[in-house]
Amino acid sequence: MEKPDFDTLILDLGGVIIRGTGLSTAVKAVSQKTFAEIRSSQTWEAYQCGFVSEADCYSQVIAEVTEPIAASQVHQAIVEARRAVRFNHALASAIEELKDAARGGLRVFAMSNISQPDYAEIKSRKSIVWDLFDGIYTSWSAGMRKPDMDFYQHVLNETNANPLRTVFVDDSIDNVLIARSCGMKGLLFENTETCARMLRNLFGNPLSRGERYLAENARGLESVTVDGDIVYDNFSQFLILSATGKRDIVAFKEHHGKDTWNYLAEDLKHTLKMFPDDVDTTSIALMTLCVKREVADSAMDKILRNVNSKGILKAFFSESMTIIDPVSCVNAIRLFHRYGRGNQVQKSMNWVIEVLTHQAYVDGTGRYVHPDCFLYFLSCLFTECEERQTPLSTHLREALKEGLRERIGLAGDSLGIAVRALACQAMDIDSTVDVNVLLKSQRDDGGWQPGWLSRYGPMGTLIGNRGVTTAFAIKAI
């Protein structure tokens, strides 16, 4: 994704870039019901197209409303409404940033249902940044109005815009629908914050924005609990490093003379209880860091001695803790295959196959919130084995692909969607649906929301990390 798919933005004026702040209280000359009837009347539509003068509009429209009113009341209501409108500086600022970043690659136009007198009034306001627009198209000058399809075609022709590369923003669903039917990307305006985020995601480069987020928060990509407490953990840092390959953005203390790792960072204060070193963090660490062969072998020897009564690898290096987790097993098996010792963990592999075959992972695991995490790390194991020319069985591959196909497009947080997209890509499955969801959910600062990665401790405390989600999302996109 080297450049955005869109190069043209068409905005509505009233309701989007010019907002009627407090309009319901500002208009006092007529009731809100009557004011709405005026603005939806045939006379008003003709007035906006330049077919009826202002005076004639006010005198004729009174016959089209329910309540008896005078033309002078209509005039006063319009004056009050004009006074109430305000320029949307926040949205304009966001669009200006996009134009600056595009360096001439983004054109912005206005397309508005507005009468000549109303347009002349707002055009005279110095508070409105008219330089934002490369052109303004009004109903009164064109003699047609939205949602007339001819008006859309007129603007597209005049601007020489490709509808497939054009984004259209309006607060009317009728107007947005017609724009979409013409081939444009239609956005229904709901509020400024949401609109600005959607425009950034459409016109900005998601990869460079995501990478900038990681760089700006380098060595400060801590995890958080569901209660908002900061967690200084090794595990998330290794996941970020494995996804990006950038050592300078993560923070963990180097091990010297030790071959196993703890989930939590050592020598730091934690709100969570510290448990023994675990197989999962150790496996990810040894595969991510450049360690000597003897260090890896020493760790794998300890892992082999750390099994339950069925010979399945336990999650923690502890005699008393008997917990097993399929994702922990998958990552350990991957470590063993990397060092040519895959045949030594067959009992654990057999259990992983059972978990996959019977879809025991559908509600996540004891340590992982998302079922997609199991599928993702399993896809990493497949890739590892293929790279080392020790491919796993075709039957197992098809079972994994079936599990992924069943989950494509399912709702979830950004982390679950990102790892699912990555797993699909590794298994040659189209991930477009999930990638599109990721593109829409990128935040204003370029990162993604944390998503819940881990369950920690006996209470199953949920832990997430924006850096992890962002790193995986960038990789998936």
SS (H, E, C) 197-235: HHHHHHHCCHHHHHHHHHHHCCCCCCEEECCCCEECEHH
Q: Read off the pLDDT of residues 237-261 as tens digits, 9 standing for 90 and up.
A: 999 999 999 999 999 988 777 899 9
| Helical H segments across 307-393, by residue range | 326-338, 346-357, 371-387
Which residue has tokens 């890896």?
296
Query: For position 24, what pLDDT does the model report?
Result: 60
Q: What is the mean pLDDT of the chain?
A: 93
Give the pLDDT confidence of 296-344 residue by residue, as tens digits: 999 999 999 999 999 999 999 999 999 999 999 999 999 999 999 999 9
pLDDT tens digits along 363-422: 999 999 999 999 999 999 999 999 888 888 888 999 999 999 999 999 999 999 999 999
pLDDT at residue 26, rounded to an integer:
67
pLDDT in tens, 261-284: 999 997 777 778 889 999 999 999
Over the stretch 198-225, which tens digit does the pLDDT of each residue have? 999 899 889 999 999 999 999 999 999 9
Residue whose structure tokens are 């920690």: 456
pLDDT band at residue 21, thresholds of 50, 70 and 90?
A: low
pLDDT value, residue 1: 43
pLDDT tens digits for range 63-97: 999 999 999 999 999 998 888 888 999 999 999 99
> Average pLDDT in the 169-178 region?
97
Judge whether residue 176 has pLDDT over 80: yes
Euclidean distance between CA atoms 240 and 242, whole angstroms: 5
Maximum distance among all Cα pairs of the chain, rounded to whole angstroms = 93
